[in-house]
C-alpha cells in the first residue's frame, strides 16, 4: 500500500512534468507544483518513523487526522439531534440562545421527548393555575443568625468561573449583566480582577490556592493571609464569601490554570509565575479538622465585616459530610450557605478520570445534604445553592423541589455569552472569546452586546420558572416540593420525587 500510493503520486507528477514540457502554461505549471509538493510530503511521510499509520499510508493518513480533529464539529453540525448532544444538548443550548437574544422561545408541533421512556420526568400541573405575573419567591435572603450583613439575592446566580479560565471580556460582560438584572456573580477561585468590578454583586470565592486571599510562605506554599483576604472581602461589591472545598468536575484535585492561559496580568492578580501551569492544592492548609474549619468560617465572617460565608463542595464521602453537619450543630456555629456541586458539573480544565468517575451527581448530593440539614435542624439557617447543568426552568424547579434555595449556573451563562460548546476551553483557542486569553480571540466577544444577553437570560429564565410554578397552582417559588415532580421509574409506573428521595 505504501509503495502503491507513492508510485501513483510520483507517476502523476511525472505526467504533469511531461505536460508542462509540451504545454508550458500557468495552469499546467500550477498542477505540476501541487503534485510536486504532494510527492515531497508523501516521500517524507513514508520515510519518517514516528507515525506508523502515516508510514503505511503516506499522504492519505493525513485525512484521518483532519477528521479526528474536526469530529466534534462534524458531530455537532451534521449528526447530533436535539436531545443527544453532550454535555449540553442542542435543545438546551437553543433555549439559552433564544432567551439571551429575546428571540421566539416557543416550539412547534409537540415534544420530541419520549414521554414513555424510563427516567422521563415532568411536573404535575393544577386545574387551577395561578397568574404568573403574581408569583413570588424570586429573591431570597442569605445569612444565618451568625451573620450581620445579610444579602438579598436572586434565586439564580452565576456560578464560580475565574478570570484566567474565562477572558476579561467574558468576566466584564457577566458582571455587567449581573448588575443590570440585580443578581450575583461568583469570582471563581482566581481572585478579584478589575473586570469583576463593574458594579455587579460578587460572591468572592476562596479556593485552596488562596488567590486574592493569601500569599506564599517561606517554604513556597500558598497560605491564607488575614489582611490580603480582608482587603478584598470588605469591598462593597462583595456580598458573600464562598470557601471552595471541591467542584463536581474534579473533586479532590484543585483548580488547574493551563500555562498558556496564565498571562502576565493573570499571574499578577494571583501572585504566581506567568506562563506556568498553576495547580491549586487539593485541600485547605488553613484548617485540618471540623473544629478548625468552623473557627475559620467565623474568622472569615468577622474579617469580611459579618457577610454571609458559604462552603462549596461536591458530595463525596457521606460519613465525612454527616460528621461535618453534626459538628456545625454541636458547635452551634455554621456556614450561611452550602453550595452543592454535582459530579456532572463543568470546568475549564480537568483530568478525564476526575471529570467522569469522581463525585456524586447533583440530585443525590443535594438530597443528602438537605436531609442532613433537616435532621440537625439547620435548614432555617443554612441555604443550599445547587449547581449542575441547570439550564432551563424545569432543571431549576426540580432542584428547588429537591431542597435547593438557589441555583448556581456556569455553563448556561457561558452559552449566553455566545459559547458554542466547541469544548476547547483548556486550549486557549476558544473561537468566541469566552474561555481564552488570546487577545485577538478575546476581541470577538463584544462586552456591550453580551452583557445584555446575560441579563436577558437571567430574567427570562426567572420568568419561565414563575410560569411553571403558576401552572403548578402555587403562589410562590418557595412552595415547590418534591411531591410536584414525577418520574417514570418503570414502564407502567410513575412516581413522585418525594417518594423516590424523601420516603
Ligand atoms: C469554565 C469554568 C470554570 C470554572 N471555574 C470554577 C472555579 O474557579 N471554582 C469553582 O468552584 N467552580 C468552577 N467551575 C464550576 C462551576 O462553578 C459549577 O460549579 C459547575 O460548572 C456546575 O455548573 P454548570 O453545570 O451550570 O456549569 C467552573 C466551571 C466552568 C465551566
Ligand atoms: S466555545 Fe468552546 S472553548 Fe469557548 S467557552 Fe464554549 S466550550 Fe469553551
- 3-class SS string, 175-201: HHHHHHHCCEEECCCCCCCHHHCCCCE
Tell which atom from ligand 2 comes closest to the C-alpha of 434: 5
DSSP state of 443: T
The three-state (H, E, C) secondary structure of 390-428, written as one string: CCCHHHHHHHHHCCCCEEEECHHHHHHCCCCCCCCCCCC
d(Cα 502, Cα 443) in Å, to the nearest integer? Answer: 49
- What would the pLDDT profile of 74-128 be if each residue is shown by its tens digit? 887 788 888 888 899 999 999 999 999 999 888 888 899 999 999 999 999 999 9
By C-alpha distance, which of 280, 166, 189, 290 is closest to 243? Answer: 189
d(Cα 369, Cα 374) in Å, to the nearest integer? Answer: 9
d(Cα 404, Cα 137) in Å, to the nearest integer? Answer: 13
d(Cα 51, Cα 17) in Å, to the nearest integer? Answer: 30
**Region at 342 (left for phi over 0; alpha for psi -120 to 50; beta for the rest):** beta
| Inter-residue contact 369 to 315 (CB < 8 Å) | yes
Which residue reads 471541591 in cell numbers?
246
**Residue ranges in the chain whose pLDDT is less than 50:** none
Question: Length of the chain in residues, anyone?
Answer: 503
Question: How far, in Å, from the CA of 468 to the mean position of ligand 1?
Answer: 26
The DSSP element (H or E) to which 257 belongs, if any, is strand 256-257
Atom 4 (ligand 2) nearest CA = 430
> Domain spans of the chain?
2-79, 122-502
**Region at 130 (left for phi over 0; alpha for psi -120 to 50; beta for the rest):** beta
Tell which atom from ligand 2 comes closest to the C-alpha of 421: 7
Question: How far, in Å, from the CA of 223 to the mean position of ligand 1?
Answer: 23
Tell which atom from ligand 1 comes closest to the C-alpha of 186: 17
Distances in Å between the alpha carbon of 428 and those of 258, 293, 440?
A: 9, 36, 11
Ligand lying nearest the CA atom of residue 245: 1
d(Cα 56, Cα 46) in Å, to the nearest integer? Answer: 7
- Residue 309's CB is within 10 A of a number of other CB atoms, namely 30
By C-alpha distance, which of 383, 343, 384 is closest to 362? Answer: 343
Identify the pLDDT of residue 273. 85
Torsion of CA 374, 366, 183, 241, to 10 degrees: 80
Ligand lying nearest the CA atom of residue 422: 2
Atom 8 (ligand 2) nearest CA = 425
- Residue 117's CB is within 10 A of a number of other CB atoms, namely 9
Ligand lying nearest the CA atom of residue 361: 1
Identify the pLDDT of residue 72. 80
Question: Which mutation among 410, 425, 426 tests ligand 2's pocket best, with the greatest number of atoms within 8 A of CB?
Answer: 425
Question: How far, in Å, from the CA of 3 to the mean position of ligand 2?
Answer: 42
d(Cα 1, Cα 395) in Å, to the nearest integer? Answer: 54
Please give the sequence-ordered ranges of beta strands (E in DSSP) within 200-237, or none if there are none: 201-206, 214-216, 222-224
Atom 22 (ligand 1) nearest CA = 345
Identify the pLDDT of residue 1. 62
The DSSP element (H or E) to which 363 belongs, if any, is helix 362-375
By C-alpha distance, which of 454, 428, 406, 425 is closest to 179? Answer: 454
Atom 1 (ligand 1) nearest CA = 348
Question: How far, in Å, from the CA of 249 to the mean position of ligand 1?
Answer: 8
d(Cα 241, Cα 253) in Å, to the nearest integer? Answer: 21
d(Cα 265, Cα 193) in Å, to the nearest integer? Answer: 9
Tell which atom from ligand 2 comes closest to the C-alpha of 424: 3
Q: What does the block give as the cell for 128?
A: 387551577
| Inter-residue contact 98 to 453 (CB < 8 Å) | no
Strand partners, 142: 151
By C-alpha distance, which of 381, 401, 380, 379 is closest to 390? Answer: 401
d(Cα 281, Cα 278) in Å, to the nearest integer? Answer: 10
d(Cα 451, Cα 11) in Å, to the nearest integer? Answer: 59
**DSSP string covering 101-149, please?**
HT-----SSS--S-TTSTT-EEEPPPSSPPPGGG-B-SEEEE--TT-SS
The DSSP element (H or E) to which 385 belongs, if any, is strand 383-387
Q: Tell me which residues have their CB closer than 6 angstroms to ligand 1.
A: 159-162, 165, 188-189, 205, 244, 247, 255, 312, 341, 345-348, 387-390, 408-412, 425, 435
Q: Tell me which residues have their CB closer than 6 angstroms to ligand 2.
A: 414, 419-425, 430-432, 434-435
Superfamily of domain 122-502: Aldolase class I (3.20.20.70)
**DSSP string covering 464-501, please?**
HHHHHHHHTT-SBGGG--GGGEEEEEETTEEEEHHHHH
Question: How far, in Å, from the CA of 435 to the mean position of ligand 2?
Answer: 6
d(Cα 350, Cα 249) in Å, to the nearest integer? Answer: 7
Ligand lying nearest the CA atom of residue 435: 2
Atom 3 (ligand 1) nearest CA = 161
Tell which atom from ligand 1 comes closest to the C-alpha of 312: 11
Strand partners, 490: 493
- What would the pLDDT profile of 375-407 be if each residue is shown by its tens digit? 999 999 999 999 999 999 999 999 999 999 999
- Residue 167's CB is within 10 A of a number of other CB atoms, namely 28
DSSP state of 24: -
Amino acid at each position: 500500500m505504501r509503495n502503491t500510493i507513492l508510485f501513483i503520486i510520483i507517476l502523476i507528477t511525472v505526467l504533469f512534468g511531461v505536460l508542462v514540457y509540451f504545454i508550458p502554461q500557468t495552469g499546467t505549471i500550477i498542477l505540476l507544483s501541487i503534485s510536486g509538493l504532494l510527492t515531497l510530503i508523501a516521500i517524507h511521510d513514508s520515510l519518517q518513523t514516528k507515525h506508523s499509520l502515516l508510514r503505511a499510508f503516506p499522504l492519505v493518513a493525513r485525512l484521518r487526522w483532519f477528521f479526528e480533529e474536526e469530529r466534534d464539529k462534524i458531530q455537532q453540525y451534521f449528526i447530533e439531534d436535539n436531545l443527544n448532544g453532550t454535555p449540553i444538548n442542542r435543545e438546551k443550548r437553543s433555549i439559552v440562545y433564544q432567551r439571551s437574544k429575546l428571540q421566539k422561545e416557543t416550539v412547534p408541533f409537540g415534544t420530541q421527548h419520549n414521554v414513555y421512556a424510563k427516567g422521563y420526568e415532568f411536573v404535575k400541573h393544577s386545574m387551577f393555575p395561578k397568574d404568573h405575573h403574581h408569583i413570588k419567591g424570586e429573591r431570597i435572603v442569605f445569612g444565618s443568625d451568625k451573620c450581620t450583613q445579610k444579602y438579598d439575592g436572586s434565586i439564580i446566580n452565576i456560578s464560580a468561573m475565574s478570570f484566567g479560565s474565562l477572558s476579561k471580556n467574558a468576566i466584564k460582560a457577566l458582571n455587567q449583566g449581573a448588575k443590570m438584572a440585580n443578581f450575583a456573580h461568583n469570582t471563581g477561585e482566581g481572585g478579584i480582577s478589575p473586570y469583576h468590578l463593574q458594579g455587579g454583586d460578587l460572591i468572592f470565592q476562596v479556593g485552596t490556592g488562596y488567590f486574592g486571599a493569601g500569599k506564599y510562605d517561606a517554604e513556597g506554599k500558598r497560605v491564607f493571609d488575614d489582611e490580603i483576604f480582608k482587603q478584598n472581602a470588605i469591598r462593597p461589591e462583595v456580598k458573600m464569601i464562598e470557601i471552595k472545598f471541591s467542584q463536581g468536575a474534579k473533586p479532590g484535585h484543585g483548580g488547574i490554570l493551563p500555562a498558556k492561559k496564565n498571562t502576565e496580568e493573570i499571574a499578577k492578580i494571583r501572585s504566581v509565575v506567568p506562563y506556568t501551569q498553576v495547580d491549586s492544592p487539593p485541600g485547605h492548609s488553613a484548617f485540618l479538622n471540623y473544629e478548625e474549619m468552623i473557627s475559620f468560617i467565623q474568622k472569615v465572617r468577622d474579617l469580611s465585616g459579618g457577610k454571609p460565608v458559604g462552603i462549596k463542595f461536591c458530595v463525596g464521602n457521606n460519613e465525612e459530610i454527616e460528621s461535618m453537619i453534626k459538628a456545625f450543630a454541636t458547635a452551634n456555629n455554621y456556614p450561611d450557605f452550602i453550595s452543592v456541586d454535582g459530579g456532572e458539573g463543568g470546568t475549564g480544565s480537568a483530568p478525564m478520570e476526575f471529570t467522569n468517575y469522581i463525585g456524586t451527581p447533583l440530585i443525590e448530593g443535594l438530597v443528602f445534604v438537605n436531609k442532613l440539614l433537616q435532621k440537625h435542624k439547620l435548614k432555617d439557617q443554612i441555604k443550599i445553592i445547587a449547581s449542575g447543568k441547570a439550564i432551563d426552568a424545569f432543571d431549576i424547579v426540580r432542584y428547588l423541589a429537591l431542597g435547593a434555595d438557589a441555583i448556581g449556573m456556569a455553563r448556561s451563562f457561558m452559552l449566553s455569552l455566545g459559547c458554542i460548546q466547541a469544548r476547547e476551553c483548556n486550549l486557549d483557542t476558544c473561537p468566541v472569546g469566552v474561555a481564552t486569553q488570546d487577545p485577538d480571540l478575546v476581541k470577538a466577544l463584544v462586552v456591550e452586546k453580551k452583557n445584555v444577553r446575560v441579563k436577558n437570560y437571567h430574567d427570562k429564565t426567572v420568568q419561565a420558572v414563575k410560569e411553571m410554578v403558576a401552572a403548578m397552582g402555587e403562589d410562590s417559588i418557595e412552595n415547590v416540593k418534591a411531591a410536584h415532580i414525577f418520574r417514570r421509574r418503570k414502564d407502567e409506573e410513575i412516581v413522585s420525587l418525594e417518594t423516590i428521595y424523601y420516603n
